[in-house]
Amino acid sequence: MINITNAKSIVGEKQSLTIKSHQNIEINAEGLTIFPGLIDPHVHFRTPGMEHKENWLTAAKAAIYGGYTTVFDMPNTLPPTTTAALLAEKKSLIDAQLKEIGIPLRYELFFGADKSHLSEIYKVRDAVIGIKVFMGCSTGNLVIDDDESLHAVFAIAATQDMLVAVHAEDEQRIHARKHQFKDVKEYPVHSKIRDKEVATIAVEKAISLSRIYKTRLYVLHTSTADEVRLIKQAKKENLPVFAETTPHHLFLNESAYATIKGKAVVNPPLRESSDNIALFEAIKDGVIDTIGSDHAPHTEAEKARVYGECPSGMPGIETTLPLLLDAHHQGKISLEAIVNITSTNAQKIFRLPKTEDTVLVDLNKTAEVDPAKLKTKCGWSSFAGKKLRGWPVYTIVNGHCFELI
């Protein structure tokens, strides 16, 4: 048993807790606040094929140090997860790595929709958390850029009661704008090529497909005020539409190119400060349901390449909760909203069973984000040097207690 005494709930009430475990641990949690184990619905842990960037040995540790007890991994690996056989292979690689490191991290996998393997969807129905559709290309070469295949995926998903998660960026417009800006080699052009309209067009299309087929739709990494407007409208219509945002779209904007350069390059791109504000508002209004770290590590050398050769994505799973807790101290978000977007909403949307997973948080611990202390293999953070108030200090997953020291 793990016995936690003298803790507080997020509303400040004294709380004790006993969690089933083969370990016998007493935690005097004086000064600590109890959170449910965090669920990250959007990570790229890179196994198989891109393990020079990350693998589950390092990423599972990073998850635990971020307060996460459940993660959903994306299919844009090498090879991409587009068949039942590849899915089974990926699972066994992950299980072996988690066993090796002794971290019983809970995980689910997204299945990659691919034009030439649509019939595979039926085979994996009960083995995956949902179907990922890249409407525009990103890291890897998974993309569905024709309407016929998009209709087919949404239709199949609806008949199978599967959720479709969309990377909503319109491939045609990306292509046209890449051509238009082909001679510009500075990083900020990334936000111009993949402009807000790129996202608006794709979100509009995804919502209309959800309307036609009644498909459960999850809009990944919502980054603009305009997407928020469309999602709000869809929810008003009672469509089964859910939305995620990311820590980088909440806490960074285009001004970051000047300081962190290629490390700021991400898909969808960083936007304006007015979008940061709109996303916080959307959390408050219940339009945004979840936050996904979109933990997408690349090596520092890869991120130092010139624009065009610099891959998109940044790590995030270790800093998401401290960023949110720090924002709470600044009056930008309530603790209740943090619990909702980091755990309870995902549990409902993805129909996960309830667990006893718990995170003990020191709301007043202040520390700088120190890349040298991060567990992710990539060893860097877009938030390096940022002083944050509020850090997890114990993560309990599947009856295992990890003290985060």
The residues annotated as belonging to the active site are 294
Contacted by 335, from ligand DOR, Zn ion, none: CB < 5 to 8 Å by type: none
Residue number, 312 or 395, with CB nearest to ligand DOR: 312
Look at residues 401, 399, 280, 404 and name the one whose alpha carbon lies nearest to residue 21.
Answer: 399
Query: Which residues fall within 8 angstroms of residue 246, CB to CB, at 6 or more apart?
Result: 42, 221, 223, 291, 292, 293, 294, 316
Contacted by 266, from Zn ion, ligand DOR, none: CB < 5 to 8 Å by type: ligand DOR
DSSP label of 246 = -
Buried b (16+ CB within 10 A) or exposed e, 358-374: bbbbbbebeeebeeeeb
Count CA atoms within 13 Å of residue 351 on its CB side: 8
Q: Residues in contact with Zn ion, total (CB under 5 A)?
A: 1
Contacted by 206, from Zn ion, ligand DOR, none: CB < 5 to 8 Å by type: none
Amino acid of residue 300: E
Residue number, 76 or 342, with CB nearest to ligand DOR: 76
Separation between Cα atoms, residue 50 and residue 121, nearest integer Å:
24
Closest approach, Cβ 296 to Zn ion, in A, equals 5
Bridge partner residues of 3 (DSSP): 18, 26
How many degrees, rounded to 5, is the angle at CA 135 between CA 38 and CA 265?
Answer: 65
Point out which residues bind ligand DOR (CB under 6 A): 44, 76, 138-139, 167, 266-267, 296, 312-313
Contacted by 362, from ligand DOR, Zn ion, none: CB < 5 to 8 Å by type: none
Closest approach, Cβ 267 to ligand DOR, in A, equals 4
Residue number, 266 or 317, with CB nearest to ligand DOR: 266
Residue number, 94 or 335, with CB nearest to Zn ion: 94
Closest approach, Cβ 93 to ligand DOR, in A, equals 17
Q: Following DSSP, what letter does each residue of 216-231 receive, concatenated?
A: EEEE-S--SHHHHHHH
Buried b (16+ CB within 10 A) or exposed e, 206-235: bbebbbebebbbbbbbbbbbbbbebbbebb
Helix, strand, or coil here: 123?
Answer: helix
Phi, psi of 401 (to 5 degrees): -105, 125
Residue number, 81 or 267, with CB nearest to ligand DOR: 267
Closest approach, Cβ 268 to ligand DOR, in A, equals 7
The first and second tokens of residue 124, run together, are 């994996």
Report the relative pairing of strands 400-403 and 387-397 from DSSP bridges: antiparallel
Contacted by 312, from ligand DOR, Zn ion, none: CB < 5 to 8 Å by type: ligand DOR
Contacted by 137, from ligand DOR, Zn ion, none: CB < 5 to 8 Å by type: none
Residue number, 142 or 349, with CB nearest to ligand DOR: 142
**Beta strand extents in 101-162 (DSSP E only):** 106-112, 130-134
Separation between Cα atoms, residue 292 and residue 214, nearest integer Å:
24
Bridge partner residues of 134 (DSSP): 167
Residue nearest to Zn ion (CB): 294
Residue nearest to ligand DOR (CB): 313
What residues numbered 262-321 form the site for Zn ion, per CB under 5 A?
A: 294
Residue number, 83 or 312, with CB nearest to ligand DOR: 312
Closest approach, Cβ 134 to ligand DOR, in A, equals 7
Count CA atoms within 13 Å of residue 269 on its CB side: 22
The 10 Å Cβ neighbour count of residue 140 is 18
Closest approach, Cβ 4 to Zn ion, in A, equals 34
Closest approach, Cβ 123 to ligand DOR, in A, equals 24
Q: Which residues bind Zn ion (CB under 5 A)?
A: 294
